[in-house]
Amino acid sequence: MNLSRLILVVAAVFSLASCLEIKNTIIVNKDGTAIVEETTLLGAQLAAMLAQGGAGGPGDQLKGLIMDQAKAEERAKQLGEGVTVKSIGEVKSPDGKSGNKVTFAVADIRKLKFQPNSPEQKEKKSEEDMVFALEGGTLTITNNGADKKSDKIDKPKKSTEELAQMKAQVAMMKPMFAGMRVTIDVKAAGGIASTDAAHAKGDTITFLDLQFDKLLDNVEVFGELMESGDSGMSMADAAKKFEKMEGIKLEGKKVVKVELK
């Protein structure tokens, strides 16, 4: 996965303008099998939009994220050889969101080709896949898109007037994005002995964590993040640039090593 594709996913999510949480979790077993969990949680307003549907509206965008059996089977094929749909179930969170969790069984982690799901499941480029290797207790995670830059588009910096206008718009919009979050995590089922990942805690390595409430506290940085995919910036560049920004975590390394317990 590369920065441009992630920004497109984020932009699609952001355009829905309501409470939405997307969690992607890859759970790796030491025997080489794995589980992929993709969870989508909606606030009450967004759930109502989905129920109403309507051509071209938010309901249509959401249908790509809330997977039924057919969409889950299609997604399993995208994830690689030997990946099957294990279960699809409704879920609810303590803060009142509801949605579904699709669980995929991975027969061999070495054949998993991961990119985050998006509202429109367009064909993905294989050179942007996150792939895995496992030898003994050493897990190697390669994010092939981490160092890939998009074609740079030079854009003039926003004027003082434009920044002021953006701040006013964001201030009005912020309440609508309370609780909105997108994450991509890799977990070791038996625990982690050591890793060189930038963001690791307990048994979990975070490759992406965007918390919109916190991001919107800094309008200038948020604007830079949303435009970064068109600025020639790679994932590695963005991880370094935004490393001290609250509300965002990015893994900038192309290759991450993990010693499994």
What does the pLDDT read at residue 212?
A: 80
Q: Is 96 helix (H, G, I), strand (E, B) or coil?
A: coil
What does the pLDDT read at residue 171?
A: 67
What does the pLDDT read at residue 232?
A: 64
Distance from first CA to last CA of the chain, Å, rounded? Answer: 27
227-252 burial: b if 16+ Cβ within 10 Å, else e? ebbbbebbbbbbbebbeebebbbbbb
Above 90 in pLDDT, residue 43? no
What does the pLDDT read at residue 203?
A: 97
Structure-model confidence comparison of residues 240 and 207, the more confident one: 207
Task: Retrieve residue 142's tokens.
Answer: 């390669």
Query: What does the pLDDT average to over 110-134?
Result: 81
Percentage, residues of the chain above pLDDT 70: 67
Query: What does the pLDDT average to over 176-181?
Result: 74
Contacts of 53 (CB under 8 A, 6+ apart): 59, 60, 63
Number of domains in the chain: 1
* C-alpha–C-alpha distance, residues 90 and 28, integer Å: 23
Return the minimum-mean-pLDDT range out of 56-70, 88-102, 126-140, 184-198.
Answer: 56-70
What does the pLDDT read at residue 60?
A: 57
Segments forming the whole domain that contains residue 96: 3-260
What is the rounded average pLDDT for all residues in the chain? Answer: 80
Pair 225, 215: CB distance under 8 Å: yes
What does the pLDDT read at residue 130?
A: 94
Above 90 in pLDDT, residue 186? yes
Q: Is 59 helix (H, G, I), strand (E, B) or coil?
A: helix
Return the minimum-mean-pLDDT range out of 114-123, 184-193, 234-243.
Answer: 114-123
Above 70 in pLDDT, residue 6? no
Above 80 in pLDDT, residue 127? no
The conformation of residue 152, written as its DSSP 8-state character, comes to P
How does residue 113 score in pLDDT terms, banded at 50, 70 and 90? very high
Residue 75 host element (H or E) = helix 69-79
